[in-house]
Amino acid sequence: MHCGITKMSATMGESLSANDEVILNILNFLRIAPNLFVKIPQMRNIVKTGSVRGLSLKGFLMETVVYMVGLLYYFNNNFPFLVYAEYIALEIQALLMVLVFLHYSNDLDVRILPVALQASRRPVGSFFLMTAIIGSGSLPTSIIAFFFSMNLPLNASSKLLALNTIYSTKNSGSASFLMWSISGLTSAGRIATNLMTKPDYLVLTNFTVAASLSFSVCCAIIIYRPSEKKFE
C-alpha cells in the first residue's frame, strides 16, 4: 500500500489536463470544506439533548486513532497537503467529541483532577496515551505504515459500532443525520479524487466501505429516530 500511495502522490498533477485540474480542485474543496465542521452537528445534538444515547464511545475512539494515524502517515511521507488536509480538522473534532461524550456520560470531572491525570486512571487513558506516543514522532515510519494499513478494519469497525448501537437500542437518540451524511459524501469524494489521480485499490476499498457504512448509519438514524425528530 505504501508503494501504491507514494506513486499516487508522485503523479498528482503530472498527467491531468487543465480542465481535469480545475475539476480536481473543485472536488478537493467540496471534500475538505464540509469536514471542517462535520462533527459540529453531532456535538450540538449532544449538548442540546444532554444525552449520549444511541452513540458509541468506542466508535469515537477508533475514529480518533484512524484520523491520527492517517494524518501522521501522509505527513511523514511528504504527501501533498490537499491529500490529508481534512484529517487535521477531523482529528481535532474527534478529540472534542470524545471529551463531550465523556462529559455528558458523567465520566469526566475536571473539577477534581486535570483531564490527563483522571483519564490515565481509566481505560480511556490508555487510548490517549497511545495517541500521544504515535503523535510524538518516536515510532519508526514502518510501524506508522503498519498502523495505516489497519485503518480499513478500524474505520469499518467504528462505523459498525455506531450502527450496532443504534440497532441494539432501537433508538438513534442523539445521533446526527447531518454528520453521517456529510461523512458518506466526503468519502465518496475521496473515491472520485483518487480515481482522477493515481488509483490505489486499498485506498479505494477503504473509502468505498466507509461511504457505504456511513450511508447505512444514515438509514438507521431515519428508521430508529422518533417520528417527530426524523430529520435535523
pLDDT at 154: 83
Amino acid at 200: D
Task: Give domain limits for the chain.
Answer: 2-229
Number of H helices, E strands in the chain: 11, 0
Instruction: Quote the distance between the C-alpha of residue 170 and its chain's center.
Output: 24
User: Grid coordinates representing 82?
Assistant: 490537499
- Kindly report the pTM of this predicted structure: 0.69
pLDDT digits (tens, 9 = 90+) for 31-42: 889 888 999 999
What span, in angstroms and rounded, lies between the C-alpha atoms of 58 and 15? Answer: 41
pLDDT digits (tens, 9 = 90+) for 49-86: 888 887 888 888 888 888 887 887 777 777 778 777 88
Average pLDDT of the residues in 108-133? 51
Asked if 198 and 11 touch (Cβ cutoff 8 Å), the reply is yes
Average pLDDT of the residues in 188-203? 79
pLDDT above 90: residue 180:
yes
